[in-house]
Amino acid sequence: METFSHDLHSLFNQLGMNSSKESIEGFIRDHNLKQNETLAQADFWQPAQRRFLKESIAEDADWCEVIDQLDALLRK
């Protein structure tokens, strides 16, 4: 059985983004979500990234917990 690490580093990798600690911190610093905006609705995602986020949430995939974590971090 394979086990995968579902943390911010691996989520950023999955989204095709730089996953260094500095890049993740910069992304969180430079982006935020509006009050009623879902993470997948944010305008800073590419179409494939948006689709991945929507599908992961809709399917209650293994990624949901870390996606929720990113969502919370982007609500300043």
Answer whether residue 76 shows pLDDT above 90: no
pLDDT digits (tens, 9 = 90+) for 32-41: 999 899 999 9
The answer to whether 14 touches 52, Cβ cutoff 8 Å, is yes
Longest CA span, the chain? 40
The answer to whether 14 touches 45, Cβ cutoff 8 Å, is no
Distances (CA, A) of 21 to 1, 4, 17, 43, 69: 29, 19, 12, 23, 15
pLDDT band at 5 (very low <50, low <70, confident <90, very high): confident
